[in-house]
Structure 1
Amino acid sequence: MTTKSMSPQVTGTSPRVPRLKTPLRIGFILREHFSMVAFTAAVDTLVTTNLVTPEPAFEHFTIGAVGRTVLSDLGIEVSAGTDLKSIVVDPSQVDMLIVCGGYRSQLEPEPHLLSILKTADQKGIRLGGLWNGGITLIQAGLMEGHTCALHPDNHAYVRENYPAVKVSANAYELEDHHATCAGPVSTLEMMLKLIGQLLHNPHIVRAVREILSCDQVAEQVGPMPLNVGDDPTLPEALQTLLALMRANIEEPLTLVELAQCVNLSRRQMERLFQSHLDTSPSRYYLELRLVHARRLLMQTNRSILDISLASGFVSSSHFSNCFKDCYGITPSAARQNPSTQK
């Protein structure tokens, strides 16, 4: 007895699906330690789209950034279909290239990869970046004056080194021919939005969403704000104070200035922090600046002095003492032994 496979059907009014003469080809460039979850989320949207269209709308293939075998962030080796040396950057061969990064993907520029992205951009091929894959587009000089969505850990690096790039407060961005997102969850949303733009059919997007996001509480509507750790249930005054601290790292505001911004006394502000965050405003602000400094330390080659000043410390010695108190290791030692940093 044979069974007939049933493809998911689009509910409601039957949509007019554009018949593509050739499926759109999307290549995923896998960098070492790329996020497997983000990558599979992106591929899953393409495969699922093909299930709800009368003809395949997409083809995908993988490209190893450093060879045909790439190690993912889960320690799983993935065999790529091709590598950078073999790829043909031609609009007749590929419609979009997406750089897949991850939490531990290195930020050092790869000249050959940057050259390929520049060529692709010149030929009108769409480009994308998952997690910190967007940084590769930035390093290729393709995002100046544009908005780029990145993982929060990479915001400081980009703001310090590429001030012409607008770091997005959203978890994903689609602008012109560029698509970027901050992590695995936003990858799905970015890809759904991208598919909607490419196929011009909201019914298809809704069908794919219903299959892949059936367990979500509600459908994402509009921009997807990047959650940087604040609890939305915190008092409005406290949320404002936290936002002010994040926006004033290099030149920290005094506690008096912070309190005045929310019409509180210093004592009231201290009680607010103690009650909801179990810490003092000064301690929270210091740790915020140290986290910023640590990111610069790990992701840039800037001097300790430059990093200390960029993080609001009046001297490198003061910065080093505070850093050691917090992390148990000096900034210079942390830079020399990144494996000791979590």
Structure 2
Amino acid sequence: MADSIIKRDFSKTISNTNKVFLKDNDDQQKLVKVGFVLLENFSMVAFTGAVDVLVTANLVLPGKAFDYMTLGINSRMVTSDLGIDIATGGTVETLPIQHRNELDILIICGGFRCSLEPNAKLTTCLKAADKLGITLGGLWNGAVALAHAGLLDNMECAAHPDNHAYMRERFPNLKVSGNTLVVGNKRASCAGPVSALEMMLKLIGQLQGDAVVRAVREILSCDQVAENQDSVPLQVGDNPTFPEPLRNIIELMRNNIEEPLNLEELSECMTISRRQMERLFQTHLDTSPSRYYLELRITHARRLLLQSNESITNVSLACGFVSTSHFSNCFKDYFGLSPSAARQKINT
């Protein structure tokens, strides 16, 4: 009987927050394999940001969608810009022989102190990868290696600003972009750590779609600071493009999870008619105020349930449910399993 449960869909905004808990692990999909060539003194933060996108995408997708490997050039031990030695899974000399048919994407990880001179081993590897149709990319100044291999001729690429003059002088057949990242057909490049994350998001977007990108971004970029802004809100639904009345209502809902307000009370507190409130939610969130409020409470319950040892009864009360059975039914409607089963699943 439990196998026949049909889950209720969360509204779009809150669905991104809960996506990792809604996936069906029985689904199968093609595994995309990504290789990272680590140059000596590569940017650790740019590299780990790029990898973090792949790892997080695996969390929000059914099954394992991405795998990655690391490669050195002259040695399997590479020193990062932080002075930390990283043991790679191989070298670029072994790639054409052992791994080239396994890779879908190959990215060169540069950094502030990386050499800009050509490397014959790396050039040979990149040309072989290009012939196989592998997507090629560069982090920080990793695009320089692609340019040395002649793989960016008549193309646009991004690189760290300190390398623009060198690239324009050395490679007149390519266009150095004023943007922080460029993602095109079989090529991707970025200028630094923040754009490394964005570049990888665009690449997985091409493969998995915008919904996955939104879910990954919500996890990794919750504290991203906008230009000229000291801080940004961390909560779901804090979209600066929303009208102020809508943002205020959402904030009021969020502050009253344990003792939910009814729609009339929300309307009175915001000095807005119930009809106006319903139009705001329908227009900007494609849902009703009552459903959105319930989903906020269910999402809060999911966090408490999986991140604390509180009893299910206490979690139910903390999220405004007077009846544990009603809470269990609502939770099961959205997540497809009971609160106790959800807690057991996450701990196994």
TM-score w.r.t. the length of structure 1 is: 0.58
Out of 102, 124, 137, the position equivalent to 2:133 is 124
Whole-Å separation in 1 of the counterparts to 2:26 and 2:202: 17
Indicate how the Cα distance of structure 1 residues 137 and 18 shifts in structure 2: closer, same or farther if over 3 A, else same: farther
Verify: 1:92 aligned to 2:123, yes or no: no
Counterpart of 1:122, as a letter, is K
Q: How far apart are 1:83 and its partner, in Å?
A: 1.1
Aligned partner of 1:146 in structure 2 is: 155
Aligned partner of 1:62 in structure 2 is 70
Partner residue in 1 for 2:308: none
CA distance in 2, matches of 1:132, 1:206: 27
Give the number of the structure with larger relative contact order, counting CA–CA contacts within 8 Å between residues 6 or more apart: 2
Match of 2:254 in 1: none
Cα pair 1:150 1:181 within 8 Å, conserved: yes
Q: Which amino acid aligns with 2:173?
A: A
Bigger shift: residues 209-218 or 44-53: 209-218
Could you tell me how far 1:123 is from its partner in structure 2?
Answer: 1.1
Give 1:52's match in structure 2, choosing from 47, 60, 67.
Answer: 60
How far did 1:135 drift? 0.3
Distance 1:45 1:193, change over 3 A: same
Q: Tell me the number of residue pairs that the alignment of Structure 1 and Structure 2 aligns.
A: 211
Q: Of the candidates 39, 49, 67, which is equivalent to residue 47 of structure 2? A: 39
In structure 2, give the amino acid aligned to 1:205.
V
Give the Å deviation of 1:17.
11
Shift of 1:10: 3.6
Compute the RMSD of aligned alpha carbons: 2.5
Superposed counterparts of 1:124-273, under 5 Å: 124-199=133-208, 201-217=209-225
Matched, 1:101 2:129: no
Letter in 2 for 1:157: Y
**Alignment correspondent of 2:34:** 26
Write the letter of the residue equivalent to 2:45: V
1:196–1:20 distance in 2 versus 1, CA, 3 Å: farther
The match for 2:88 among 70, 80, 84 is 80
Asked whether the 8 Å contact 1:32–1:66 carries over to 2, the reply is: no
Instruction: Provide the C-alpha distance between the structure 1 equivalents of 2:101 and 2:120, rounded to a whole number of angstroms.
Output: 24
Identity %: 53
Once the 2 structures are TM-superposed, how far is the Cα of residue 218 of structure 1 from its aligned partner? 5.4
Q: Give the Å deviation of 1:190.
A: 0.8
In structure 1, runs of 5+ residues without a counterpart are: 1-7, 220-342
Per-residue CA deviations over 1:47-85 (Å, capped at 9, x if unaligned) read: 000000111110001001221000000011000011122
Preserved CA contact (<8 Å) 2:154 2:173:
yes
2:168 partner amino acid = R
| 1:92 match: secondary structure | helix
Which 4+ residue blocks in structure 1 deviate beyond 2 angstroms? Answer: 8-22, 88-92
Aligned to 1:264: none
Structure 2: gaps spanning 5 or more residues: 1-13, 228-348
Give, as a single letter, the amino acid of the residue that structure 1 aligns with 2:202. Answer: K
State the distance in 1 between where 2:28 and 2:171 align: 38
Distance in 1 (CA, whole Å) between partners of 2:38 and 2:169 is: 26
- Structure 1 or 2: more helix by fraction: 2
Amino acid at match of 2:92: L
**Is the CA contact 1:10–1:52 (under 8 Å) kept in the aligned structure 2?**
no
Cα distance between partner residues in 2 of 1:35 and 1:12: 32
Shift of 1:22: 3.5
1:75/1:36 CA distance change after superposition, 3 Å: same
Counterpart of 2:42 in structure 1: which amino acid? F
TM norm structure 2: 0.57
Aligned-pair distance for 1:20? 5.6
Amino acid at match of 1:183: G
